[in-house]
Amino acid sequence: MTDSGGVLDILCDIDFELQRGQTVAIVGASGSGKSTLLALMAGLDTPTRGTVRIDGTDIFALNEDQRAALRAHKVGFVFQSFQLLGNLTALENVMLPLELAGRRDARAAATQLLQRVGLGQRLGHYPKLLSGGEQQRVALARAFVVQPALLLADEPTGSLDFATGARVMELMFELNREQGTTLVLVTHDRAIAQRCQRLITVEAGRALEVAEAPA
Supply the pLDDT for residue 182: 94
Residue 4 predicted with pLDDT over 60: no
Query: What pLDDT was estimated at residue 119?
Result: 94
pLDDT tens, position by position, 196-210: 999 999 887 676 666
Average pLDDT over residues 155-178: 87
pLDDT recorded at residue 188: 87
Binned at pLDDT 50, 70 and 90, residue 7 comes out as low
Q: What is the pLDDT of residue 210?
A: 64
pLDDT at res. 2: 41
Q: How many other CB atoms are there within 10 angstroms of residue 44's CB atom?
A: 15
Backbone dihedral angles phi then psi of residue 3, each to the nearest 5 degrees: -125, -170
Average pLDDT of the residues of the chain: 87
Rounded average pLDDT over 123-128 = 96
- Surface-to-core class of residue 167, CB atoms within 10 Å of its CB (0-12 exposed, 13-18 middle, 19+ buried): middle
Q: For residue range 44-71, what is the model confidence (pLDDT) as tens digits?
A: 888 888 889 998 899 999 999 999 889 8
The predicted-structure confidence for 174-187, as pLDDT tens digits, reads as follows 888 988 999 999 99
Strands 182-186, 23-27: pairing is parallel
Global pTM?
Answer: 0.84
Burial group, residue 91, by CB count within 10 angstroms (0-12, 13-18, 19+): buried
Domains of the chain (ranges plus CATH)?
17-212 (3.40.50.300)
DSSP H or E run through 209? strand 206-212
**Is the pLDDT reported for residue 42 higher than 80?**
yes
